[in-house]
Amino acid sequence: MGVEGIGARVVRKEDKRFITGKGRYVDDIKLMGMTHAYFIRSPHAHAKVKGIDSSAALKMPGVVAVLTGKQLVDDKVGNLICGWAITSKDGSPMKMGAWPAMAPETVRFVGQAVAVVIAESKNLARDAAEAVVVDYEELPAVADMHAAIKAGAPQLHPEAPGNQVYDWVIGDESATDAAFAKAANVVKLDVTNNRLAPNAMEPRAAIADYDAAEEHFTLYTTSQNPHVARLVLSAFYNIAPEHKLRVIAPDVGGGFGSKIFIYPEEMVALWASKKVERPVKWTGDRTEAFLTDAHGRDHITHAEMAFDTNNKIIGLKVKTYANFGAYMSLFSSSVPTYLYATLLSGQYNIPAIHAEVIGVYTNTTPVDAYRGAGRPEASYLIERLMETAARQLNVDPAELRRTNFITQFPHQTPVIMAYDTGDFNASLDAAMKAIDYAGFAARKAQAKSQGKLRGIGVSCYIEACGIAPSKAVGSLGAGVGLWESAEVRVNPVGTIEILTGSHSHGQGHETTFCQLVADRLGIPISQVSIVHGDTDKVQFGMGTYGSRSAAVGLTAILKAMEKMESKAKKIAAHALEASEADIVIENGEFKVTGTDKAIALPMVALAAYTAHNLPDGMEPGLKESAFYDPTNFTFPAGAYICELEVDPGTGKTSFINFVAADDFGRLINPMIVEGQVHGGLVQGIGQALLEHAIYDANGQPVTASFMDYAMPRADDVPSFNLSHTTTLCPGNPLGIKGCGEAGAIGASAAVINAITDAIGKNNLEMPATPDRVWRTIHAA
């Protein structure tokens, strides 16, 4: 490891612009002649749009246009799509309700846009929006999943009778039934996985700029995957063919999944820009984010786990209802199916699993992938079940896990996934040592003497990351391949540009990706630039989500580097009159091994571009690209242990210690990895203690600002004690597993297991607010 190579704690290159206020986010961009959009959104959860009268608004100062959903349909702009086809157990395809970008006839959730005002400033657009009269005929609405599937419930879409999206199954039902028939013990648990609002700190924004002469659009947008945005906008929404649409995702202020999807606002901005023949900017406010950014989680699950007399798990049955909101968002269908149920084996040998997932429409904001996406729901369920089982079987929760850990790899689970490697005992050992698990009983007794209820909670998570082999996801219904691309451009003076299809919105790619180059060539990272987030610069890419940028994106860069190095070695060998096989790269030089003969990288690069003295038949230039398609998912795993105290008088929870022992395979930059874990942990803790996106029975959102939705703040959470154990991922040459989602996947169960341990009652829903904990303590 060099000072800036793989494994070094390199301070981030991108930080200077952020700490000096020079970051360039979408809302920071101004174009000549730019207009501003303000959306008129439904105040009703379910209603007919009888008419829209914009005559008064059109007379107001600065108003350029008022555009409606009907005009959008007249212009044949396509409906929003869901890109992963799921088939129900009866063989029928999932039931897709049509989702136009602005509703021409029916609104199905509060916040759905019906029209947009385009004006000279945002304030003028907002003023005019007040003057647009929308005539709604209210319809009965349903926000609760169980209510939505009852006979006689209000129906959202004619295409989906009973509000059912799909009824999907996985696993072997008869083998699972047989296991339960011979079980010595069965543990049952009902859990709700609370709905969350992702809340990246930068609200979504879009600027669309239509060039009538070239018939060309440019879209600046807050996207985690600008190429996918361009593909979808071109292929499905009739906005423009791909070569006439440039999508730029500049600095993006956090995503957590919510900026993967293609939303109505950027579609409307593009369409409106052509209509008004001027650039159109839309920047969401926080309430719009709560109303329209895809929410996360929202499951209701009943599960049963069967054990034999040796406390070995012999079977698992799961039935989950997943709330999709009013429409199927871009990747929503895959989240409670292939990203959730395929992880239900957890870290354990479970010979038989059967799971059924029923997707439900409700009059709420659409739900899609949010940090972890299905895997937090699976991990929470399994780890709550293990804790419940330990209590019911009267064994130590850590021991029960050890009894059932998978220890042989590769391991084929009954739910598709083939775990490639791992050492679950090692991470549990590390976490137990870090928290002094053995000394807990004494600490609990000490706390009790002071009137506090102390609890400890274990969570051993596993996730499938680095999505994913294109062939595999294609066979499961994905509409895209999930490889990544990269290009290495060595400039004539030897500086390097790496073009990547990954997108950094906080992950630090501009540093970590350079570290790979520094590691291979021995040059300082200051000589390397990372280019991303612009479809005119990078040819194609699948973007950043699912903890895939290092495992897949960086591997693509490695493949392109290998090609570039191979050509550079030929040039060096030719210049040094040596054999190519004898050339080694060290400290930015190509050396003939065992001699003092060397040629520096800039001279090799210059030779490539002057082309005065290249090997016979070699093309000039030094630029290579690669597309890398992984061979398997990666399987990060770890053990989290939370120790906390509950004040029985108030129900308030106080953290004592939180330890995390993760196995992410090889770490490129441990400082950045730790930062990813910290952030994930707090999102998991936020779900466990604070966060809940709530609707009333009529579908009115109750939590649509930071005054109502409890975001974790600095004094709500502890500092963390992190450690790493390592098994290298065999699926990619760098041995990387990915670290972006682990914290959010593993933390919630550790917290709830600790609180329920402290209070001695097992049933406690998230978020475990002081009120809810107090009521649980004092419930009969």
Partner 1 sequence: MSTVKLTVNGKAVAVDVEDRTLLVQLLRDHLNLTGTHVGCDTSQCGACVVHMDGRAVKSCTMLAGQADGASITTIEGIAKGDELHPMQAAFRDNHGLQCGFCTPGMIMSAIDIVHRHGGQLDEATVRHELEGNICRCTGYHNIVKAVLDAAGRMKVAQAAE
Does the footprint of partner 1 cover residue 675 (CB under 8 A)? yes
Instruction: Assess 770 for contact with partner 1 (CB under 8 A).
Output: no
**Three-state DSSP state, 89:** coil
Encoded amino acid at 307, one letter? F
Which C-beta is closer to partner 1: that of 588 or that of 679? 679
Q: How far apart are CA 696 and CA 710, in angstroms?
A: 17
Interacting span for partner 1 (CB under 8 A) from 70-78, 418-426, 619-627, 709-717: 709-717
Least distance (Å) between residue 505 CB and partner 1 = 5
Give the residue, chosen from 201, 418, 442, 611, that forms a contact with partner 1 under the rule CB under 8 A.
201
The least CB distance from residue 717 to partner 1, in Å, is 6
In angstroms, what is the minimal distance from the CB of 716 to partner 1? 9
381 is a contact residue toward partner 1 (CB under 8 A): no
Site for partner 1 in 16-45 (CB under 8 A): 16-25, 27-28, 30
- Minimum distance of partner 1 from residue 15's CB (angstroms): 4
Does position 130 interact with partner 1 (CB under 8 A)? The reply is no
Q: Determine which helix (DSSP H) or strand (DSSP E) holds 774, and give its type and residue range.
A: helix 770-778
How many whole angstroms separate alpha carbon 649 and alpha carbon 774?
A: 7
CB of 11 to partner 1, least distance (A): 6
Residue 387: which residues within 8 A CB-CB, separation 6 or more?
397, 457, 458, 749, 753, 756, 757, 762
Give the range of 152-160, 423-431, 694-702, 713-721 binding partner 1 by CB under 8 A: 713-721
Instruction: Decide: is 112 part of the binding site for partner 1 (CB under 8 A).
Output: no
Cα 557 to Cα 484: distance, rounded to the nearest angstrom: 9
In whole angstroms, the minimum distance from the beta carbon of 253 to partner 1 comes to: 3
Tell me the sheet residues that pair with 170: 355
Among 66, 189, 206, 252, binds partner 1 (CB under 8 A): 252
Q: Please, what is the Cα angle at 343 between 385 and 741, to 5 degrees?
A: 100
Residue 168 carries which side chain, given as an amino acid letter? W
Nearer to partner 1 by Cβ, of 288 and 387: the residue is 288
- List, as one string, the DSSP characters of 551-570: IIIIHHHHHHHHHHHHHHHH
- Cβ proximity to partner 1: between 315 and 372 the closer is 372
What is the phi/psi pair of residue 580, to 5°? Answer: -55, -35
- CA–CA separation, 87 vs 85, rounded Å? 7
How many CB atoms are located within 10 Å of the residue 719 CB?
9
616 Cβ partners below 8 Å, 6+ apart? none
Residue 380, SS3 per DSSP: helix
* Least distance (Å) between residue 609 CB and partner 1: 33
Supply the minimum distance, in Å, between the C-beta of residue 524 and partner 1. 17
Q: Is 254 in the site for partner 1 (CB under 8 A)?
A: yes
φ, ψ (nearest 5 deg) of residue 24: -125, 95
Q: Rule CB under 8 A: is residue 14 a binding residue for partner 1?
A: yes
Comparing CB distances to partner 1, the nearer of 598 and 710 is: 710
Structure tokens at 56: 């008064």
> How many residues in the shown chain lie near partner 1 by CB under 8 A?
57
Q: Is 574 helix (H, G, I), strand (E, B) or coil?
A: helix
**Does 493 participate in binding partner 1 (rule CB under 8 A)?**
no
End-to-end Cα distance, the chain: 60
Least Å distance between CB 669 and partner 1?
9
Q: What is the DSSP letter of 132?
A: -
Confirm if 10 and 4 have CB atoms less than 8 A apart. Answer: yes
d(CA 604, CA 523): 14
Alpha-carbon torsion 472, 475, 479, 481, what sign? positive
Report if residue 296 touches partner 1, rule: CB under 8 A.
Answer: no
Q: Which residue stretch of 71-79, 330-338, 587-595, 666-674 sits at the interface with partner 1 (rule: CB under 8 A)?
A: 666-674
Segment near partner 1 (CB under 8 A); pick from 262-270, 283-291, 329-337, 630-638 = 283-291
Sole window of 48-56, 65-73, 249-257, 533-541 interacting with partner 1 (rule: CB under 8 A): 249-257
Of 216 and 286, CB closest to partner 1? 286
Walk across the sheet containing 185-193 and list its strands: 164-171, 353-360, 313-323, 299-307, 185-193
Residue 200 binds partner 1, judged by CB under 8 A: yes
The residue range among 82-90, 174-182, 285-293, 641-649 that interacts with partner 1, by the rule CB under 8 A, is 285-293
Q: x/- contact string, 714-733, with partner 1 (CB under 8 A)?
A: xx-x-xx-------------
Q: If residue 118 lies in a helix (H) or strand (E), which one and from where to where?
A: strand 113-119
- Write down the least CB distance from residue 22 to partner 1, Å: 7
Q: What is the dihedral of CA 152, 158, 163, 169, to 10 degrees?
A: 130
Whichever of 97 and 543 has its CB closer to partner 1, that residue is 543
> At residue 538, what is the residue type?
V
Interface with partner 1 by CB under 8 A: which residues? 11-12, 14-25, 27-28, 30, 123, 199-203, 251-254, 256, 285-287, 505-508, 671-672, 674-675, 678-683, 705-707, 711-715, 717, 719-720, 743
